[in-house]
Structure 1
Amino acid sequence: MISTDEPVELGPAVRALDAARSVTILCHVQPDADTVGSGLALALVLRRRGIPVRVSFAEPAALAVSLRTLPGAELLVPPAEVPAEVDLLVTVDCGSAGRLGALGDRLAGAGTTLVIDHHRSNTRFGAINLIDPDAESTAGLVARVLDAWGEEIDAPVAHCLYAGLVTDTGSFRWVRPGTHGLAERLLGTGIDGAEISRGLLDTHPFGWLPMLASVLGSARLAPGVRGGIGLAYAFVRRTDLRGLGAEEVESVIDIVRTSAEAGIAAVFKEHRTVDGRWTVSLRSRNSGPGAADGVDVSAVATALGGGGHRFAAGYTAHGTADDILAALLAALE
């Protein structure tokens, strides 16, 4: 076992999985390694047990290149192939039904719904809600479920879980007691942690570099925000997105957040096709200057229609660049 002191009750989730005759696993829109890795790890175990299982996400149309080498990727199906009815529907790393996008309508056709997540802002939209806001990743929570279920975490499952763990901890920058123990256990199955990390975090097309030059060149600092904690922000315009995938765009926030003069970072990303629609990523410090002030960006994001974690959150906004910046500044007052 990873821990003998479980902060959440795992029994209902384990019993639902054990009794399921067919399973659909849904990841959130614009899926990252934690949602896909968690979903595929669970799916691999279910397939091993002989249970029919499908994994899907609503958008975009194709999985990010960096995630296509995850074991079990063949279990991913397009939204049109997700059945309207299923014995058990599991969502992984989804803080609300809205994060399922167009696949949210599949909830109504499930005999039972199980939500596995670690977002503090989770709306508990399942019949069974396995939510641990203290978990460093949904992948870590899935590992605890598998342990409680008595299922082996073999190398393919470990690969998927490690992908979620390494990305959601920011290469182990944000950890909790037990995180490194879990990583050691997963690596002990023989997976190549360095290669997994390189493919997920350190490999980008050349076009990423001029995109960064354009976006970071327009970055701005608002030092007076939140009583002097400060906000660093940047806009990713539609013209910056040509030839790049969502993972390249998402990486910008992890650069903007390194500004020493700001305890809060924001990146506003213009939608590729819908005028006036933006997705916004927020980050705040969990150590060093600004951390003691307790900036909870999940509360800010929730107030603006989104959600997330205390130090990492996001939301969707509508309007001009000036409008959405003004709305964020007002929410941070």
Structure 2
Amino acid sequence: MSDSVDLQGAAALLDAAATVTVLCHVNPDADTLGSGLALGLVLERRGVAVQVAFGSPAAVPESMRSLPGGHLVVPAADVRRDADLVVTVDCGTAGRLGSLRDRLDGAPRTLVIDHHLSNTRFGTHNLIEPESEATAVVLANLFDVWGVEIDADLAHCLYAGLVTDTGSFRWGRPDAHRLAERLLATGIDGSAITRTLLDTHPFGWLPMLSSVLASATLAPEAADGRGLVYAFVRRADAADLGPEEVESVIDIVRTTAEAEVAAVFKEVGPQQWTVSLRAKTAVDVSAVAAELGGGGHRFAAGYTAHGDPDHIVAALRDVLG
């Protein structure tokens, strides 16, 4: 049975657990990992036996290794199967847990904490705030109700999620800026956090970009004449790079002035791709992704595709119109 819970209900669930597993989604970004570590730190301080984990890759991405609470992260294979409570953070579906999805089955209670409108509410209890711009915002709200003081370590984790999910506040609403002000007031270095997360890449990123951007194609008639721009990241292009470098490509492709919608097709196996979608103002790409088996936000979403490049582009264009 699945129930919606409010902030007080979520706090009560957490208070009742002696062992908690906090699960982030695969290929973690700063919102899922920052939220997971912030929650993990709070639980650890309260004497709870807590683990934080994600299904893949095997290690924390380089750009997020400075987040406080990293000592709580355990390898996927070492995640306990008998926790009182399993909490997922920033996971719209159970499938986003990858190999750790089965940990939901062994827990008497599961709490889903998320901000995706498309969340499938797969927990026994679900705290979903679609109006929040990041799961980090949901955690900040939860901490306030729970009586948790947000100190510099927690603020660092939450700011990481907030700055990335708002595109460095490019689409942040007033509440996001107010929370940022509050987090920065703890003394964290917001500029350094942002630079580490968003503006630091290995040299190999540059030749990868050269190859990938050379594949970019503009289809001005797509999306009912609003325009689609898309590019492919082949495995050979990104062989020596981490998933965060690959994920960053969409933020360059989406700047194309002639296209409302941007897509990056990332090869993960033979004729298997993960697809990142972005829109500017007029297209709800979460609905587009949902039709193709995925989900996300109105202006940022994704899905998995199977087939050759011509086939997967045609499938996307059919849904876009």
> Which range, TM-score by smaller chain?
over 0.9
Q: Which consecutive unaligned segments of at least 5 residues does structure 2 have?
A: none
Q: Write the letter of the residue equivalent to 2:87.
A: V
How many Å apart are 1:226 and its aligned residue? Answer: 2.0
Q: Write the letter of the residue equivalent to 2:314.
A: A
Q: Which consecutive unaligned segments of at least 5 residues does structure 1 have?
A: 1-7, 286-290
Question: CA contact under 8 A between 2:223 and 2:261: conserved in structure 1?
Answer: no
Q: Deviation string for 1:168-193 (max 9, x for gaps)? A: 10000111231111001111111111
Q: Does 1:326 align with 2:306?
A: no
**After the TM superposition, which segments of 4 or more aligned residues of structure 1 sit over 6 Å from their partners?**
none
Determine the C-alpha separation between the residues in 2 that align with 1:55 and 1:144: 20
Q: Does 1:178 align with 2:175?
A: yes
Counterpart of 2:126 in structure 1 is 129
Determine the C-alpha separation between the residues in 1 that align with 2:174 and 2:13: 28
Q: Write the letter of the residue equivalent to 2:273.
A: W
Q: Does 1:204 align with 2:201?
A: yes
The alignment partner of 1:268 has SS state of strand
How many Å apart are 1:238 and its aligned residue? Answer: 1.4
Question: CA contact under 8 A between 2:287 and 2:295: conserved in structure 1?
Answer: yes
Determine the C-alpha separation between the residues in 2 that align with 1:129 and 1:176: 24
Equivalent position to 1:252, from 243, 249, 254: 249
Equivalent position to 2:18, from 17, 21, 26: 21
Q: Write the letter of the residue equivalent to 2:47.
A: G
Determine the C-alpha separation between the residues in 1 that align with 2:152 and 2:179: 13
Counterpart of 1:91 in structure 2 is 88
How many Å apart are 1:217 and its aligned residue? Answer: 1.5
The alignment partner of 2:293 has SS state of coil
How many Å apart are 1:9 and its aligned residue? Answer: 2.6
Determine the C-alpha separation between the residues in 1 that align with 2:182 and 2:174: 14
1:170-249 aligned within 5 A = 170-249=167-246
Q: Deviation string for 1:60-105 (max 9, x for gaps)? A: 1111100111000010001111111110110000001010111110
1:1-333 aligned within 5 A = 9-271=6-268, 274-285=269-280, 291=281, 293=282, 295-333=283-321
The alignment partner of 1:104 has SS state of helix
Q: Deviation string for 1:15-64 (max 9, x for gaps)? A: 10111111000000110000000000000000011111000000111111
Q: CA RMSD in A?
A: 0.9
Q: Deviation string for 1:140-191 (max 9, x for gaps)? A: 1100000000011111111000000000100001112311110011111111
Q: TM-score, normalised by structure 1?
A: 0.94
Determine the C-alpha separation between the residues in 2 that align with 1:215 and 1:80: 34
The alignment partner of 1:279 has SS state of strand
Q: Deviation string for 1:291-314 (max 9, x for gaps)? A: 2x4x11011111111110010000
Q: Write the letter of the residue equivalent to 1:227.
A: D
Q: Deviation string for 1:184-230 (max 9, x for gaps)? A: 11111111111000100000001111111111112110101122111
Q: TM-score, normalised by structure 2?
A: 0.97
Question: CA contact under 8 A between 1:135 and 1:176: conserved in structure 2?
Answer: no
Determine the C-alpha separation between the residues in 2 that align with 1:207 and 1:101: 28
* Total equivalences in the alignment: 317
Shifted more, 237-246 versus 39-48: the winner is 237-246
Determine the C-alpha separation between the residues in 1 that align with 2:245 and 2:76: 24
